[in-house]
Amino acid sequence: MTAAASLRVRSSRARGRARLNRLMTGLLVIAALLAIMPLVLIIGVTVIRGLPAMNLAFLTETFNFSRREVGGGYLHGLVGSLYMGGLAALIAIPLGITTAVFLTEFPRSPSTGPVRFFSDVMTGVPSVFVGLFVYTLLVRHIGFGTFVGGLSLAIIMLPIVVRSSEEILRLVPGDLRRASYALGARHWQTVLWVVIPAAAPGLVTGSMLAVARALGETAPLVLTALAAQTVVLDFQGEGQSALPLLIFREARGAFSAGQQRAWAGALELMLLVLVLSIVARFIGRRIRG
C-alpha cells in the first residue's frame, strides 16, 4: 500500500488525478450542504417568525373579523385539518392495506401487475387534479364540505399506503407463515393473525407518513373544502377550513397581521407534520432493529 502510495505521488499525472479526486469529492460535499441549507432556513425562519404570534389564543380561537386585524387564531383550521385528515385515514388506510395484502398474497392474479403499476402511477397524479376529480364527481352534486375534502385527501394517501404496506408485508419472514400453516391455519387466518401483526409497526409507519402528507395538502382542499370562518363540525354541505388553506389565504394577503398568523399557522402545521413523520420513522426503525 505504501509502495503504491509513493508511486502515485511521483508521477505528475497521478498527482493531477488525485487533485481531481479531491476537487470532485469536495463538490459532492457542497451538494450535500446545499440540500441541507434550505431545510435549516425553512425550519429556522418558520420558528423565528411563527413564535411571536404563537400563543394560547392562536391555538384556541378562530378569527372571523378582517384580515387586517391582529389576534385570533386558527382553531377552525386545526379542527378542519384533523377532521378531514381523520376521515381520509379511515378511508385510505384500510383500503390501502387490503390492496397491499392483495398484491403480496395473490401474486398470480392477473390484476396484480396492473394494480401495482397504476398505484405507483397514482403517486404521481398532481394533487390539484385529485381536487378537480372530487369536484366533478361529488362537489357539483352535494356541495363543498368536510367529507369531500377528506375524500380528496384519502385519494392522495391511498397509493402511499399501498406502496409502503406492500414493502413491509414482503419483509415478513416466510418461516412465520409456514409455521402458521403447519398448525393448520388457513390462508386468511395466517394473514390476519400472523402476517399483519408481524408487519404492524411498519404498517403504522407507512400510514402515519401518509397522514402527514395529507395534512400538508392545500390544492385539493381549495377545490373541495373551500373555506370556513368558524369551527365547522358538519359532515358535509358546509365549507370546511384547514391549516394549509388559512396559511395559503393569508400568505398572499397584503396585511402584516394576516401574514403573522400565517407564520404561526405554518409553525403549527410544520410541528404537526414533522412530529408525525419523525415518530413514524422512529416506530419503523425500532422494529427493524
Partner 1 sequence: MTAIRGDTAFRWIATASGLAVLAMLALMIGSTTLDALPVFASQGVWQFLTGTTWDPGISRTEITGTYQAGVFLYGTLLTSAIAVVLAVPVSVGIALFLSEVAGPRVRGPLIALIDLLAAIPSVIYGLWGLHFFAPTVLKPIAQALSGALGAVPTFAGPVIAFNVFYAGIVLAIMIVPIISAIAREVFVAVPDAQRDAAYAVGATRWEVMRSVVLPRSRPGIIGATMLGFGRALGETIAVALLIGGGTVIGASIFKPGETVAAKIVNTFQESAPEAVRALIALGVTLFAITIAINIAARVIVRRMGDLSGEAVA
Interface segment toward partner 1; rule CB under 8 A; list 52-60, 64-72, 82-90, 215-223: 215-223
223 binds partner 1 (CB under 8 A): yes
Looking at residues 241 to 260 of the shown chain, list those that interact with partner 1 (rule: CB under 8 A).
244, 247-248, 251-252, 259
198 binds partner 1 (CB under 8 A): no
178 binds partner 1 (CB under 8 A): no
| CA–CA distance, 254 with 67 (Å, rounded to integer) | 9
105 binds partner 1 (CB under 8 A): yes
Nearest-approach distance from CB 223 to partner 1, in angstroms: 6
162 binds partner 1 (CB under 8 A): yes
| CA–CA distance, 187 with 191 (Å, rounded to integer) | 6
196 binds partner 1 (CB under 8 A): no
| CA–CA distance, 221 with 213 (Å, rounded to integer) | 13
Looking at residues 66 to 85 of the shown chain, list those that interact with partner 1 (rule: CB under 8 A).
none
Size of the site for partner 1 (CB under 8 A): 97
Q: Which contacts of 227-232 are long-range, i.e. CB under 8 A and separated by 24 or more positions?
A: 228/76, 228/80, 229/62, 229/63, 229/64, 229/76, 230/62, 230/64, 230/76, 231/62, 231/75, 231/76, 231/79, 232/76, 232/79, 232/80, 232/146
- From 208, 215, 225, 257, residue interacting with partner 1 (rule: CB under 8 A): 215
Among residues 57, 266, 211, which one has the least CA distance to residue 203? 211
- From 80, 150, 159, 202, residue interacting with partner 1 (rule: CB under 8 A): 159
**Residue 277 φ then ψ, to 5°:** -65, -45
The three cell numbers locating residue 127: 394533487
90 binds partner 1 (CB under 8 A): no
Nearest-approach distance from CB 234 to partner 1, in angstroms: 20
Nearest-approach distance from CB 78 to partner 1, in angstroms: 14
CB 239, CB 145: distance < 8 Å: yes
Nearest-approach distance from CB 34 to partner 1, in angstroms: 5
Tell me whether residue 75 or residue 151 sits nearer to partner 1 (CB atom): 151
| CA–CA distance, 195 with 177 (Å, rounded to integer) | 7
- From 1, 6, 10, 38, residue interacting with partner 1 (rule: CB under 8 A): 38
| CA–CA distance, 281 with 28 (Å, rounded to integer) | 27
